[in-house]
Structure 1
Amino acid sequence: MPRLVTNWRAVLRYAWTVRLALLAAILNGAAVTVSIITGSLPVAPMWLAALNGVLAVAVPVVRIIDQSNLKDDDNE
């Protein structure tokens, strides 16, 4: 069964993977909301798809980068 990491609060606050995933969710939510309200998107759908693609690629890339502000509680 999956368990939380010991420093989950620091991960939620400082991890770039969390930040990029939240940014993607916010941008997608904003695009859907604007589309529903106005009936059209403020930018071409191609640009939204490209931005989503960049964010989707960036999340695993930043996951493997050392984030020194996220030390494990057991190793401090």
Structure 2
Amino acid sequence: MKFEIVENARCVLRHAWSIRLILLAAALDGANTCISFFTAEPPVSRGLMSLITIGLSVSAAAARFVSQEKVSGKADADGGQA
């Protein structure tokens, strides 16, 4: 298997919901870790933060399979017809 960057990588980075959800999950996980260093009792339980992060990660994986016109183009939204 050969890994290649997609032709419209910049467009994907700017518009894909999967990227946005991954970045949000990473930010929440980082915030959860930082808060744990500074306080014994965080404002939101660690379990809840973990569930939110897992939910965002699963949503990002699902979003990768949803056709997005700005990312995939009109052809993919029509089932691959040119």
* Fold similarity call, TM over 0.5: yes
TM-score bin (small chain): 0.7 to 0.9
User: Equivalents in 2 of 1:51, 1:65: separation in Å?
Assistant: 21
Instruction: Please list, as runs of the form range in 1=range in 2, the aligned pairs for 1:46-61 lying within 5 A after superposition.
Output: 46-61=47-62
Larger RCO: 1 or 2 (CA < 8 Å, sep 6+): 1
Identify which range, 40-49 or 22-31, moves more after superposition: 40-49
User: Equivalents in 1 of 2:59, 2:72: separation in Å?
Assistant: 21
Using the aligned pairs only, state the percent identity.
35
Aligned to 2:41: 40
- Match status 1:25 vs 2:26: yes
Q: Structure 2 counterpart of 1:35, which letter?
A: S
User: Equivalents in 2 of 1:32, 1:39: separation in Å?
Assistant: 12
Q: Structure 1 counterpart of 2:64, which letter?
A: R
Spell out structure 1 runs of 4+ moving beyond 3 A: none
The CA RMSD over aligned residues, in Å, is 1.4
Deviation at 1:41, TM superposition (A): 2.1
Contact 2:18–2:61 (8 Å) recurs in 1:
yes
Q: Give me the TM-score of the superposition, normalised by structure 2.
A: 0.78
Q: Give me the TM-score of the superposition, normalised by structure 1.
A: 0.83
User: Unpaired runs of 5+ in structure 2?
Assistant: 74-82
User: Equivalents in 2 of 1:69, 1:18: separation in Å?
Assistant: 14
Write out per-residue CA displacement over residues 43-76 of structure 1, whole angstroms, 9 at most, x where no aligned residue: 112211210221122012111111001146xxxx
